[in-house]
Structure 1
Amino acid sequence: MVQRQVPNPAEIFELMKFKKLELNGKKRRLQSALTIEDLRRIAKRRTPAAAFDYTDGAAEGEISLARAVQAFEDVEFHPAILNDVSEVNTSTQVLGGSSALPFGIAPTGFTRLMQTEGEVAGAGAAGAAGIPFTLSTLGTTSIEDVKAANPHGRNWFQLYVMNQREISYGLVERAAKAGYDSLFFTVDTPVAGARLRDTRNGFSIPPQLSLGTIANASVRPWWWYDFLTTPGLEFASLSETGGTVGELLNSAMDPTINFDDLAEIREMWPGKLAIKGVQTVEDAKKLTGLGVDAILLSNHGGRQLDRAPVPFHLLPEVVREVGQDVEVMVDTGIRNGADVVASLALGAKFTLIGRAYLYGLMAGGREGVDRTIEILADQVRRTMKLLQVRTVQELNPSHVTQLVRFNRVGAREGAFRA
């Protein structure tokens, strides 16, 4: 028989504590977000469809993006045992400097349209966390204002080589003068990818309003308030601001870009130089010996060529071929700190987050970006402890298996088998 007694209220309240009521709506929203997907859902509720879809979407059928996300979900970890991991060190060295975490913020365009604090929020949060922030050529905050927002942190600049080379050269000079320590020379945008969500939404600066656009945004008055009561949107580093995303990119980019342009920029730039958008082993090998310090395996977040290679899948072979000569980084599809850890285990020197950062920005401005970094940092630490490694340098291929869904056949038959 079970022995019963009259409940003692004092004992009950020792076991049960009422959660403190948070009256600040933004703090309450962000505290409820435990994953990047949680931040994404909040961002979708709070942001007009055109701005949200610009962040969330990709090219054509969005196959490249889906495959990149799936690749990280298909990771199998192999933990060690009986190692003291009461303390772990997530810091690393990249491009001649330190980062408190093995990820930084990737360059994004149109950022202040997502949420009015834009790059200032991203740069400030990155500086506070001790990680690098990358400003896009198509950013909506100037090179100098980002430096002011992150005066003591690491700022990187992403460069598009444009039809008018003098514009690009001027940006390089401004970034160097402002103290940016690394330049990301982008090579995967000879023309704009077909981002169909943007076309359907009429996404541009200024927004091309339709009845549907107005109806969707009307239930988000906080976004309109920010949009109408803050300085007008512009590409702060460029003078041309009209047209759709595709039209802007097609006017800003140049399909004639070649290795001579790389040599010219290398000659001009005094800091570290990374090549962003490398998608084959052969091109990674070509870049070694050309004064390049790093390559970023990236398919532009799936936003350029749909069905492009998955950067995470390329990582092991590229590291084997050129990892002793250049630093290899990776982006695209990272939604969890475990994705960062898996990349490091397979040889990546560093990782960059784009959408994850913007989801936090749309969910809560600067505090939302802080929350993105906090979530990913906690996941990195927890994954490292569960793998029982104390530093990111201890991570190695024995910790990870890539579970591959498809065989590659044709031009690269036999190079990648399930």
Structure 2
Amino acid sequence: MTATPTRVPAAAPAPVQQRPRVARQRPRWTELRELLRLRKPTFNPVERRLGAALSIGDLRAVAARTTPRAVFDYVDGAADAELTVRRNRAAFAAVELVPEYLSPVDRPELSAEVLGQEIAMPLIFAPTGYTRMMHHEGEVAVARVAARNGLPYALSTVGTSTVEDVAAAAPGGQHWFQLYLTRDRRLNEELLDRALAAGFTAVLLTVDTPVAARRLKDTRNGLTIPPALTARTLLDMARCPSWALNKLTTAPITFASLSSIAGSGLDATRVADVAFEPTLSYADLAWLRARWPHELLVKGILSPGNARRAVEEGADGVIVSNHGGRQLDRAPATLAVLPEIRAELGPDPAVILDSGITHGQDIIAAKALGADAVMIGRAYLYGLMAGGERGVERVVEILREEYSRSLQLLGLNSTAGIAPHHVRLP
């Protein structure tokens, strides 16, 4: 007789656990109010654009929309294939910042000392030409912003405002004068005497312009010396009615410091002879040192030997610069040669880095590698094109906030604390 297998009863399914229901309530206005922090609408288009700009790149984009293409290209462009301008940015992008924590960083001290003077942060406004072409307020707007923020401003020989204009617009500011030294000794002396009388405290001798560079964008747009504007360029300028109206209703754009010299006969072609001097030599630097009683810097230095010789001839320091990539293309990035130049000169002569600075962290990188301060040119011109004086002020706000926050994130409470070990290079 076969045994009947015992049937095992199937296991009962596990009870499904009910998720606890979230208690709900009616929205309360007092709680919503904390979340809905609505801003007042900004009806002024300039204020709206500047308020939305959170970086120098944002201001560049605004400038490209609100300024004629030829003018924007003049600021944004560089020489030949524009390799150097890209190298400048790539060098900064490659830097790694190394933080050190567990130090109080509540309110970092941003100030720095340059040429024996304290400035609010290690930032200087570089000289730029044709500045009133970018915005009708031009150099005086930049000088006012610099003075308000405790920063030096350098006026270009080929600027569109005079040393007297800048001194009157920003009394009490730290004003420097960038000089293109020419064969015309009387002209050189006149420029130096006027800068001295206007209270300018430093002269910057630019040495990297023996001849004019080839800037293809400017040639195509007709922004040459003398100008050769095309119909397309003029139509593009008409695309920006506010810019065009300001140009038509304000004083004509001239090379103000030069055209005011009686009998100089300076037209656009003659200005090129002033700015580009192929016979400039160390003898000229020695003459300038004997002639100028205050601080003297040489701008355009890229080699340690050049830096050493400039200081031996009497310069108080050098500006490591490749003209923002606007002169010799294929030149090295300024950040790449900065440590060698500082090592060659030692700690005493002033070393300022120019070319490629667009972020507060770029300032930290330059300081760590040996610079006393940095210069900005394009960065503040983007702000000027985007919103005149208010745009330049926005540039300072952005860079100051980036610089201060980055110091805190590095664990530093002052500019003086920045050291070589805070950066790593590739």
1:313-392 superposed matches below 5 A:
313-392=336-415
Q: How many angstroms does 1:12 deviate by?
A: 2.2
Which of 3, 8, 15 matches 2:27?
8
Amino acid at match of 1:16: L
Which residue does the alignment assign to 1:158? 178
Q: For 1:226 and 1:234, locate their aligned partners in 2 and report how far apart those are by CA, in whole Å.
A: 15
Amino acid at match of 1:335: T
Tell me if 1:311 matches 2:311: no
Q: 1:206, 1:233 within 8 Å by CA — same for their partners in 2? A: no
Q: For 2:132 and 2:266, locate their aligned partners in 1 and report how far apart those are by CA, in whole Å.
A: 14
Amino acid at match of 1:294: G
Q: For 1:179 and 1:351, locate their aligned partners in 2 and report how far apart those are by CA, in whole Å.
A: 23
The 1:205/1:191 distance shift into structure 2, 3 A limit, reads closer
Give the secondary structure class of the aligned counterpart of 1:184: strand
Q: What runs of 5+ residues in structure 2 fail to find an aligned partner? A: 1-19, 260-264
Which of 261, 283, 287 matches 2:310?
287
Q: What runs of 5+ residues in structure 1 fail to find an aligned partner? A: 404-418
Deviations 1:50-97 (A, max 9, x none): 111111001001100000011111110000010000011111111121
Tell me if 1:71 matches 2:94: no
Q: 2:209, 2:275 within 8 Å by CA — same for their partners in 1? A: no
Q: For 2:121 and 2:274, locate their aligned partners in 1 and report how far apart those are by CA, in whole Å.
A: 36
Q: 1:125, 1:369 within 8 Å by CA — same for their partners in 2? A: yes
Amino acid at match of 2:27: N
Q: For 2:114 and 2:44, locate their aligned partners in 1 and report how far apart those are by CA, in whole Å.
A: 38
Q: 1:311, 1:331 within 8 Å by CA — same for their partners in 2? A: yes
Q: For 1:301 and 1:248, locate their aligned partners in 2 and report how far apart those are by CA, in whole Å.
A: 21
Tell me if 1:17 matches 2:17: no
> TM-score when scaled to structure 1?
0.93
Q: 2:282, 2:310 within 8 Å by CA — same for their partners in 1? A: no
Q: For 2:405 and 2:315, locate their aligned partners in 1 and report how far apart those are by CA, in whole Å.
A: 34
Q: For 1:285 and 1:27, locate their aligned partners in 2 and report how far apart those are by CA, in whole Å.
A: 47
Equivalenced residue count is 401
Q: For 2:183 and 2:71, locate their aligned partners in 1 and report how far apart those are by CA, in whole Å.
A: 27
Q: For 2:274 and 2:256, locate their aligned partners in 1 and report how far apart those are by CA, in whole Å.
A: 16
Q: How many angstroms does 1:346 deviate by?
A: 1.1
Task: Look at both structures and tell me which one has the larger radius of gyration over its CA atoms.
Answer: 2
Q: 2:311, 2:317 within 8 Å by CA — same for their partners in 1? A: no
Q: Which runs of 4+ in 1 moved over 3 A?
A: 204-209, 240-244
Q: Which has the larger displacement, 72-81 or 199-208?
A: 199-208
Q: 1:332, 1:353 within 8 Å by CA — same for their partners in 2? A: yes
Q: How many angstroms does 1:386 deviate by?
A: 0.7
Q: For 1:219 and 1:156, locate their aligned partners in 2 and report how far apart those are by CA, in whole Å.
A: 36
Which residue does the alignment assign to 1:192? 212
Which of 146, 156, 159 matches 1:126?
146
Which residue does the alignment assign to 2:195? 175
What is the alpha-carbon root mean square deviation over aligned residues?
1.5
Give the secondary structure class of the aligned counterpart of 1:288: helix
Q: For 2:174 and 2:285, locate their aligned partners in 1 and report how far apart those are by CA, in whole Å.
A: 23
Q: 2:181, 2:274 within 8 Å by CA — same for their partners in 1? A: no
Tell me if 1:140 matches 2:140: no
Q: How many angstroms does 1:253 deviate by?
A: 2.3
Q: For 2:47 and 2:293, locate their aligned partners in 1 and report how far apart those are by CA, in whole Å.
A: 42
Q: For 2:225 and 2:289, locate their aligned partners in 1 and report how far apart those are by CA, in whole Å.
A: 32
Q: For 1:261 and 1:41, locate their aligned partners in 2 and report how far apart those are by CA, in whole Å.
A: 41
Q: How many angstroms does 1:250 deviate by?
A: 4.2
Amino acid at match of 2:68: P
Q: For 1:223 and 1:208, locate their aligned partners in 2 and report how far apart those are by CA, in whole Å.
A: 20
Q: For 1:9 and 1:345, locate their aligned partners in 2 and report how far apart those are by CA, in whole Å.
A: 52
Tell me if 1:38 matches 2:58: yes
Q: How many angstroms does 1:209 deviate by?
A: 3.2
Q: 1:205, 1:241 within 8 Å by CA — same for their partners in 2? A: no
Q: 1:205, 1:242 within 8 Å by CA — same for their partners in 2? A: no
Q: For 1:98 and 1:48, locate their aligned partners in 2 and report how far apart those are by CA, in whole Å.
A: 38
Deviations 1:338-392 (A, max 9, x none): 1011101111011100000100000000000000011001111011111111111
Q: How many angstroms does 1:214 deviate by?
A: 2.1
Which of 112, 117, 139 matches 1:92?
112
Q: For 1:28 and 1:206, locate their aligned partners in 2 and report how far apart those are by CA, in whole Å.
A: 37
Q: For 2:105 and 2:296, locate their aligned partners in 1 and report how far apart those are by CA, in whole Å.
A: 35
Q: 2:80, 2:329 within 8 Å by CA — same for their partners in 1? A: yes
Give the secondary structure class of the aligned counterpart of 2:392: helix
Q: How many angstroms does 1:291 deviate by?
A: 1.7
Q: How many angstroms does 1:9 deviate by?
A: 3.7
Q: 1:296, 1:329 within 8 Å by CA — same for their partners in 2? A: yes
Amino acid at match of 1:257: L
Amino acid at match of 2:407: M
Q: Which has the larger displacement, 162-171 or 184-193?
A: 162-171
Report percent identity of matched pairs: 45
Q: 1:123, 1:146 within 8 Å by CA — same for their partners in 2? A: yes
Amino acid at match of 2:351: V
Amino acid at match of 1:49: R
Amino acid at match of 1:68: N
Q: 2:180, 2:274 within 8 Å by CA — same for their partners in 1? A: no
Q: How many angstroms does 1:248 deviate by?
A: 4.0
> TM-score when scaled to structure 2?
0.91
Deviations 1:139-168 (A, max 9, x none): 000011011111101000000012323212
Q: How many angstroms does 1:130 deviate by?
A: 0.5
Tell me if 1:231 matches 2:231: no
Q: 1:110, 1:139 within 8 Å by CA — same for their partners in 2? A: yes
Give the secondary structure class of the aligned counterpart of 2:258: coil
Tell me if 1:255 matches 2:275: no
Q: 1:50, 1:201 within 8 Å by CA — same for their partners in 2? A: yes
